[in-house]
Amino acid sequence: MPFHYESMLHNFPLHATVARSRKQPMPTTPQTTSIIAAAPRNSQRQESLDRLQEYLHKYRGRLSYPQRLAEGRAIGGVQVEGACKHMIARRLKQTGTRWQLRRVNRIADLCAMLYSDHRDAYRAASPP
């Protein structure tokens, strides 16, 4: 089963378990106390928490969300994913177009390249 850290980041019982497993104090309020008490303890959950902890440690330099928000930068890729989905869907749904599934990724790559930093390099390397 693939690990998706997003599914764990906003689950408060898991926040408590991660903090406890890292031996870092959590703020104690009646709410956090009940969350800690309710946190499940089993090997599968602990394995997921260990993977989450490794991920967060590995990418800690990229996860400074308060700083990113203060700078007006996006936190996630939702905006990018939504724009790509809309752009590619618009291209694929044009009147009279027919696509084979195996070729959709090629058009997606080209569409993404047009809006990336690689556009100029691609055009320079392409024959006239």
**pLDDT tens for each residue of 71-124:** 877 666 676 677 777 877 887 888 888 888 778 888 777 777 777 777 788 788
Q: How confident is the model over 31-69, as pLDDT tens digits?
A: 544 554 566 667 777 777 677 777 777 877 777 777 777
pLDDT at 43: 76
pLDDT at 27: 44
Q: Which two tokens stand for residue 5?
A: 């850290």
Question: Rounded distance, CA 34 to CA 101, Å?
Answer: 50
16 vs 127: which has the higher pLDDT: 127
21 vs 61: which has the higher pLDDT: 61
pLDDT at 40: 65
Q: In 12-37, which positions are buried (b, 16+ CB within 10 angstroms) versus exposed (e)?
A: eebbbbbbeeeeeeeeeeeeeeebbe
DSSP secondary structure letter of residue 77 = S
